Structures are given as C-alpha cells and as structure tokens.
Amino acid sequence: MRKLIIAALAASLSLAGAVAAFAQDAPKVGIVVKIGGIPWFNAMEAGIKEQGQKLGVDAFMIGPTSADPALQVRAIEDLIAQGVKVIGVVPNDAKVLEPVLTKAQAAGIKVITHESPSQKGADWNFELASSTGFGEAHGKLLAEKMGGKGEYAVFVGSLTVPLHNAWADAAIAYIKANYPDMKLVGDRYGVAEDVDKSRSTALDLIAAHPDLKGFLAFGSQGPIGAGRAVEERRKTGKIFVLGPFSPGQGQKLIKSDAISGGFMWNPKQAGEVFVTLADRLIKGESIKEGDDIPGLGVIKPAGNDIIVDQLLPINKDTVDDLAAMGL
C-alpha cells in the first residue's frame, strides 16, 4: 500500500513538474484590453486562454480597472519588463500608446493591436469588421427604425478610440447623404465603455431634446446604458437604441425593445486571432496576402492592417443563440 502511495505521489509530482516546465518554457503573450470585468472582454479572455492551450502558448489577458490609457501604458511597461514575446492591445488611445509600443518593438517584442487601424508601433492590427461597413450598417438600420426622420445622438468609447470614431464617421456620413431629415444632436459623447455614464448621458439628452428618436452607441456598454435610460423614461418604441453589445448582457433589453438591435463580431474569436497571429510571429512565419488564417479566413493586408467583414446581426431572432455561445 505504502509503495502505491509513493508511486502515486511520484506521478503527481512528475505531472506538476511537467506543467511547471511548460509554464516556464512556453512563450508568453500578454494582451492588454480596454477594461476588465465586462462581458465583451470576458469572452475575449476565454478565446485567448483556449487558443493558448491549443497552440502551446502561455497567453493571458490584462484588463485595467477603468478605460484609462495611462493604465494600459503601465500594463504594457510591465509586460516589457517581463520579457514577453508578443504584446497584444485593444487601445483606449492610439496616440498615447505609440511611445510605449515603439519601446516594446525596440526590445524585440512583437506588437499586435485590434480596433486600432494603422496603429503606429504595431507590427500588425486586425479587424473583424471594416470601419465603413460596420458604421454604415448601423446608420442604415437606425434610419430604418426612425423612419428616416428625427434627432439622434452618437456615443463612442472615448473621443480618442480610432475605430469607434471611424464607425461614427461612417454612420453619420451615410445618414447625412441618404436621410437629410435626420439631425445629429451635438457631436458625439465618449461614454460608451461605461454603462452608468451612458445611462446618465442618455437621460440628460432625452430630457434636453424632446424630439430625440435614436441613439447610435459604439462601445459595448453604450447600448446597455442608453437602453436602460429609454426604459426608465418609458420611451420604448419611441426612441431607438442601436450598437454593438454583449448579447448575454443585453438579452432582456432587446426582447423588451429598449434596444432595437445592432451588429457585432465575436470577441472570443478576436481573442483566438490574437494568439494565432502571435504564434505565427513567434515562429518567424510570414503573414502575407493569400494566407488562410483561422478566424480571419484568406487575408489581404493593407499596410499593417488585416481587415475582414464578419458581421453578426443582434436582434430578437439571434440574441439567444449568441448569448448561449457565451457572448
């Protein structure tokens, strides 16, 4: 019996040693997102971890406590000090991050970004939706919901997030060109990564603009906050809220019509792509036109950008299935 216990203990220690050796030897990939603890980036983290295990990469996510570029800079500095092989980032402020990303490259670390087209200091940036296609799809849907008339407001994650503002530019331009009876209220509001700020800003706008009929909210917390404001003011069916959001988080709101719909891509898939691209760079493999990359398909890079269109509609017909995927 004693021999069996000793043998079992030895096997256990051997397995633990093997796991520790893997953790020590596996190349490290650190991915810094905009903010931790929200459903969108929770799904991304699941993709990062699963793909890391699949490819033998020690991949992990860092989610700051608020959508603050300074916190992202601090996290990237820490990853540089750790000597990771690849740093991935979903930037809150593309320009603020330029110096620290350039510092990472100078240290021999590869840099991959997401939601930040033409990012300086990045080896590659990837998008699962083109900025024009994503923005126009939302602009068109809002116009249909509003009947092509009335006032609308636009939320973005912040005024310094390039992709959110590119979506807003595309949506506003599309509406202006095709629906002259729709009027933009103000310019845009940088609140859409914060559900409470989105809600309070929406409440203020509803109070100040009696003819307001729509919100375009780019940033995963924007539609949630604006939807709650519409519900509180009993404006369901009168004010339409559109934008990308986590289906699991907004399931009840879309079924009650407080949110009217939107489009998204799969954040878990984005997490997987981060690790897939990182693995290729670690191995010294090229990334070029015609490559068929899991999660992206056949790519056609433009500069350091890899952009594909993989839009998923979020509506009453799709929300349950998307939520069931953990999104």
Contact 56, 85 (CB under 8 A): no
Of 273 and 4, the structure prediction assigns the larger pLDDT to 273
Q: What is the pLDDT of residue 25?
A: 83
pLDDT at 5 over 70: no
pLDDT at 15 over 70: no
With CA atoms as reference, report the closest residue to 254 among 290, 223, 284: 223
Give 260's contacts (C-beta < 8 A, 6+ positions apart).
141, 145, 240, 241, 242, 254
Q: What is the pLDDT of residue 242?
A: 98
Contact 311, 134 (CB under 8 A): yes
Q: What is the pLDDT of residue 24?
A: 61
Contact 294, 134 (CB under 8 A): no
Whole-angstrom Cα distance, residue 11 to residue 19?
Answer: 12
Q: What is the pLDDT of residue 188?
A: 95
Mean pLDDT of 304-310: 94
Q: What is the pLDDT of residue 20?
A: 44
pLDDT at 17 over 90: no
Whole-angstrom Cα distance, residue 41 to residue 39?
Answer: 6
Helix axes of 131-146 and 162-178: crossing angle, nearest 10 degrees: 50
Mean pLDDT of 7-19: 44
pLDDT at 44 over 80: yes
Per-position DSSP letters for 257-282, written without gaps between them: TSS-BEEE--HHHHHHHHHHHHHHHH
Domains for the chain: give ranges and CATH numbers.
23-129+266-310 (3.40.50.2300), 132-264 (3.40.50.2300)
pLDDT tens sequence across 270-286: 999 999 999 999 999 99
Tokens of 325: 């995927």
Whole-angstrom Cα distance, residue 31 to residue 111?
Answer: 10
pLDDT at 86 over 80: yes
As a whole-number percent, the residues of the chain with pLDDT over 70 amount to 93
pLDDT at 219 over 50: yes
pLDDT at 18 over 80: no
Q: What is the pLDDT of residue 260?
A: 97
Mean pLDDT of 168-182: 98
Q: What is the pLDDT of residue 326?
A: 79
Confidence of residue 162 (pLDDT cuts 50, 70, 90): confident
Average pLDDT of the residues of the chain: 92
pLDDT tens sequence across 102-135: 999 999 999 999 999 999 999 999 999 999 999 9
194 residue type, one letter: D
With CA atoms as reference, report the closest residue to 269 among 287, 307, 243, 296: 296
Q: What is the pLDDT of residue 2?
A: 40
Residues β-bridged to residue 298 = 292
In the numeric block, the tokens 């994503």 are attached to 134
Tokens of 272: 């997987």
Give 191's contacts (C-beta < 8 A, 6+ positions apart).
155, 197, 198, 201, 219, 222, 225
Residues β-bridged to residue 31 = 61, 88
Confidence of residue 21 (pLDDT cuts 50, 70, 90): very low
